[in-house]
Structure 1
Amino acid sequence: MDRAERCRWSDLPPEILSMIGKRLHTRMDALRFRSVCSSFRSSIPPPRRDAPRFPLRIPCSWSDHSVFLHDSTVCILETPEKASGSGVPSPPRSRWLVKLQEWSLGDVQLLSLFSQRRITYLPRNFPKVIDSLEFRIVEICREFRIEYGTSVIVPGIRKVVVSPDCVWTGLDELEVYSVENEGRLGYWKYGDENWTYLDDQNGCSYDDIIVYEGKVCVVDQSGMVSLIDSSFRTLQKFSPPIHIGGIGHSNCKYLVVSGGDLYVVDREIDVYMDEFLVPHFKETFSFRVYRLDRRCGKWVDVGSLGDMAFFLGKHCSYAISVHELGGCNANCIYFMENTASPYSRDKVNVFSLEDGSTEPLDFPPLLLLLST
């Protein structure tokens, strides 16, 4: 086809552009799509700030104070390549793994990758201003938290997810799920006066929760993974392959989505009992990783993550490709150790599935330079 006969992107029919735009799930992608040209901008409406609105006030049975649902975004931030007209080589592009929280419209704060600590000191080569039109921003995942009005995490809540998590989701469609520290599973839909809790006759205690292929998944302490709906009806169960820790060990399980597959990460922690028989957690002893084989509905013991690296955070867990992004070790799990004090510095270690070794990060785990 002659170049003159080729159709420009801006000349695509409005219905095609609209179909493409409606398949964008993140607010940033929708804004960047609309900034391409007038044809793109007119094909989809601007993403509403209140769809869903964050911070979102929700009822709370744990406190007399008002609590809110907040979100932040873990993403890859790629700096633009600046041209140099003086003959001096221009600085190369840099890729950073960061966690961003929109404090107010247009005002973004940086948070630690592994906790909610605000970053007040930035590396010298980190950009001072982030322009979404110049920077390439790739969303890895979103994390949600229930907080008091001053960014204080509500105690007793281990994990929160929102479904459906899409920029086009209206408030009347918003569903919030939570796992409390004692393992109770809760559900709240926008407009409900109170939370609903799963009345589990078997006394299951849940470790983690995630949204996988549009379905809410939970894993209990035995390793049983269940797909559930908003009525707490179990859609499907996947029997656990995961061993229970031996004497002096405790297990904690995480759900991670990587390459379209669902994984369970089994974290084994050393525990000792004090004179009052109260358990105290020490260092992480080991990890085991399992992948769900959807064809047979069974779990496969994974000896290697390939070129992937898993990140286990307090409020979300995710995977990134070292081959595509670089900057971290493949076939490794990045995680934060339990600390005795909430005011102590984040202690982040790296566990290698290849040799079973654990090494501390040699830099503050606030943000990660992936490549330059």
Structure 2
Amino acid sequence: MDERVDWSVLPDEIWSAIGKRFDNRIDVLRFRSVCRSWRSFIPPFNDSSPPLRLRFPLPFLSKADAFVSQNTVYRIDPPHEDQDPSFSSSGKGWLVKVEEFGPGKVRLLDLISSHRIRDFTSTCPKVFSSLEFRMAELSKAYSLRYVCGSSSISGINKVILAPNCIGLEDSAIFVIYDQGKLGFAKNGAEDFTLIDNRILDYNDIIVYMGQPYVVDRWGTVSWIDSSLRVIQFSPPLFGFGSRKHLVVSCGELYVVDRYLDRNENMHDGDENNNSDRNFNAFLRHPLRRRRYDYCQAKTVDFKVHKLDEEWGRWVEVKTLGDQAIVLGSDCCFSVSAREFAGFKGNCIYFTEQLDLDFALRGLGNLDGCVFDLEDRTIEKLAYCPGSFPMFSLPQNHVHVEQSKNACAVACELGKNS
């Protein structure tokens, strides 16, 4: 007996209930774009995330209004009946990273470095419809920018939105700033709250299981409760790497320990000169106008660790299997290599911009690299993996002075249709 029911005859209450469960802009947009009746079931997406209007104290040079800029990584899958062989040949998905800067307007960013991409090829479309492809939100990242000029605020290394905020008025952020301090600020606050001033060497912060989790340079993972208490979650890793990254893969929390060719302690010496020391590390590139090389320590190795909660100890992960980890300049995530074009399993994709604050990351070397856990080799990437074919650029094209005739892409990702 065939029990299938035509979706068009389902009661309106069911469609309304389904629509109200969407929690991101792209799903609401696609639902409302199906037909007029579906459009009437739910209103346009009302995002409770940025911009936030905040004022900041020292260590910043001056107090100024700022907002939180959001970058989003989308997964794009080819349509079921794709007539273009360039899209359907592999059947794999792609990734695109965008910054929303106005209603219906986005800027395309490099997946790993988050550098703005402008120099498109002639095949780049002027309009990209999200209805022509299956799309899903994969990851979000945030940065702080000045309201006037929209430039990134110097001294900020990582930003996350506080989870479980009800609306914009209740929004708050956690920030790693000044090369390792952990701060908190509510919407409209006059200054930062310094959290846990005993530790000034936090390396990374993410949202995991609905709570903020942080890791310090010794590999101790902690979570932050609603009263801003830092509660230890794991024992110290005591890895010999210089930088620790938090990554969620297949629902589990990992610490990726990055080894450098020399040990750097950003808090040695005069702590008040971090910004000057950060900028002075750049050397002007002799062949590229407005491009600088960052004279920092180079990555030479990675080790991946997972917490055995039963025994309370760290276990080194020798293989990631099909998973590939992306250590971007503003967020970290993992993907299944067999599901995306250009990725290789058991590898870590990364940028060397690990210690630069957001205000300086556009100046440095933007090359992406890949580390293979099996043979422990590091290679520079010729192309950014997972790039959507129509937006794909060789990595070295990012260094070129951007063309004035660059294609202006008006994506529908941000429209409140």
TM-aligned CA deviation for residue 79 of structure 1: 5.0
TM-aligned CA deviation for residue 243 of structure 1: 1.6
Secondary structure of the corresponding residue to residue 19 of structure 2: helix
Tell me the distance in 1 between the aligned counterparts of 2:223 and 2:153: 26
With over 3 angstroms needed to count, the CA separation of the structure-2 counterparts of 1:134 and 1:264, relative to structure 1, is same
Superposition map of 1:89-104 within 5 A: 91-93=86-88, 95-104=93-102
1:290 aligns with 2:290: no
The correspondence for 1:255, drawn from 243, 246, 254, is: 246
TM-aligned CA deviation for residue 165 of structure 1: 7.5
Check whether the contact 1:69–1:147 (CA below 8 A) recurs between aligned residues: yes
- For structure 2, the 5+ residue unaligned runs are 270-276, 282-294, 393-417
The correspondence for 1:115, drawn from 108, 113, 117, is: 113
With over 3 angstroms needed to count, the CA separation of the structure-2 counterparts of 1:177 and 1:344, relative to structure 1, is closer
Tell me the distance in 2 between the aligned counterparts of 1:171 and 1:329: 39
Q: RMSD over aligned Cα, in angstroms?
A: 3.2
| Alignment partner, residue 261 of structure 2 | 270
Question: What does the per-residue CA deviation read over 1:42-70, in whole Å, with 9 as the maximum and x for residues that have no partner?
Answer: 44332125x23x33322112233332111
Hey, which of these two has a bigger chunk of strand by percent? 1
* Residues matched between the structures, number: 353
| Alignment partner, residue 248 of structure 1 | none
Check whether the contact 2:52–2:171 (CA below 8 A) recurs between aligned residues: no
With over 3 angstroms needed to count, the CA separation of the structure-2 counterparts of 1:47 and 1:336, relative to structure 1, is same
What letter matches 2:172 in structure 1? Answer: E
The correspondence for 1:225, drawn from 208, 221, 225, is: 221
Tell me the distance in 2 between the aligned counterparts of 1:354 and 1:56: 44
Check whether the contact 2:161–2:172 (CA below 8 A) recurs between aligned residues: yes
1:69 aligns with 2:68: yes
Check whether the contact 2:52–2:168 (CA below 8 A) recurs between aligned residues: no
Check whether the contact 2:114–2:328 (CA below 8 A) recurs between aligned residues: no
TM-aligned CA deviation for residue 182 of structure 1: 2.7
Tell me the distance in 2 between the aligned counterparts of 1:17 and 1:242: 52
Question: What does the per-residue CA deviation read over 1:270-309, in whole Å, with 9 as the maximum and x for residues that have no partner?
Answer: 2278xx9999732112101112344555432111111111
| Alignment partner, residue 349 of structure 2 | 334
Question: What does the per-residue CA deviation read over 1:245-277, in whole Å, with 9 as the maximum and x for residues that have no partner?
Answer: 4xxxxx10111111111111110112278xx99
Q: Give the structure-2-normalised TM-score.
A: 0.75
- For structure 1, the 5+ residue unaligned runs are 246-250
TM-aligned CA deviation for residue 336 of structure 1: 0.8
- Which piece of structure 1 moves more, 125-134 or 218-227? 125-134
TM-aligned CA deviation for residue 157 of structure 1: 0.8
TM-aligned CA deviation for residue 127 of structure 1: 3.9
| Alignment partner, residue 194 of structure 1 | 191
Superposition map of 1:15-34 within 5 A: 15-34=13-32
TM-aligned CA deviation for residue 236 of structure 1: 4.9
Identity of aligned residues (%): 41
Tell me the distance in 1 between the aligned counterparts of 2:82 and 2:97: 28
Check whether the contact 1:112–1:366 (CA below 8 A) recurs between aligned residues: no
Larger relative contact order (CA 8 Å, sep ≥ 6): 2
The correspondence for 1:244, drawn from 240, 245, 264, is: 240
Secondary structure of the corresponding residue to residue 203 of structure 1: coil
Tell me the distance in 2 between the aligned counterparts of 1:181 and 1:8: 58
With over 3 angstroms needed to count, the CA separation of the structure-2 counterparts of 1:292 and 1:42, relative to structure 1, is farther
